[in-house]
Amino acid sequence: MQSSKSCTDRDLIRTYIRGDERAFETLLTRHKGKIYTSIYMFVKDTDLANDIFQETFIKIIDTFRSGKYNEEGKFLQWALRISYNLCIDFFRKNKRRKTITPSEDFDIFNLINSSDDNEESKMIKNQTYAKVRQLVEALPLEQKEVILLRHYAELSFKEIAELTNVSINTALGRMRYALINIRKMIGEHQISLQ
């Protein structure tokens, strides 16, 4: 097998199907961050996110081993679709609505803090991020979902559209309305984001 950095996802999948477990480990390492983050942003529970993450990769392995994997799409997009469906299934089974709330054990804004900031600057940033989180939380569910997938999971609008089973225009529209609503709330609450 060539170096893992130079292998495409497709190459790694083919190598894994031929029996090389290391290829799957490389594939997992390459994509686990985005997949786990997207799951966590939906369920907001570390244990549940870990369970769904594991279930996602069990389904992926089963699909590879059964020979049912379709190589036409991108692996990451397909894996995110599986994880998204598992999250939706969980909420349907438990009749819970998806909730997206800030939590102490994981917060995407904590990753942004710069080590160059002084204490006052860090405090102002933290307050601003808390305000932004509250604004995102106040959005309608479909708009919140697009914001999270675009900015936290770093998906393209095409990937968001495919993941949520809507057209690209619908995904773009939801983002547009989310941003309009956030701007409106900023004005209503006289929030300064500087």
Question: Higher pLDDT residue, 46 or 106?
Answer: 46
Residues 113-168 have pLDDT tens digits of 445 567 877 777 777 777 877 888 888 888 888 888 887 667 788 888 888 889 99
Residues 89 and 92: their CA atoms lie apart, in Å, by 5
Average pLDDT over residues 20-45: 89
Return all residues near 92 (Cβ < 8 A) that are at least 6 apart: none
> 108-126: b or e for each residue (b if 16 or more CB lie within 10 Å)?
beeeeeeeeeeeeeeeeee
Q: What pLDDT is recorded for position 117?
A: 61
Residues 68 and 78: their CA atoms lie apart, in Å, by 13
Q: Which amino acid is at 187?
A: G
Q: Could you give the residue range(s) of every CATH 1.10.1740.10 domain in the chain?
A: 1-99
Question: Higher pLDDT residue, 108 or 178?
Answer: 178
pLDDT surpasses 50 at 97: no
**Out of 67-76, 94-103, 132-141, 168-177, which region has the weakest mean confidence (pLDDT)?**
94-103
Q: Could you give the residue range(s) of every CATH 1.10.10.10 domain in the chain?
A: 101-194
Average pLDDT over residues 65-81: 84
**Residue 34 burial (CB < 10 Å; 0-12/13-18/19+)?**
middle
Return all residues near 150 (Cβ < 8 A) that are at least 6 apart: 157, 160, 175
What top-level class would CATH report for the domain 101-194?
mainly alpha
What confidence tier does 95 reach under pLDDT thresholds 50, 70, 90? Answer: low
- To the question of pTM greater than 0.75 for the whole model, the response is no
Fold classification of 1-99 (topology level) = Rna Polymerase Sigma Factor; Chain: A (1.10.1740)
What tokens appear for 53 in the block?
Answer: 């993450």
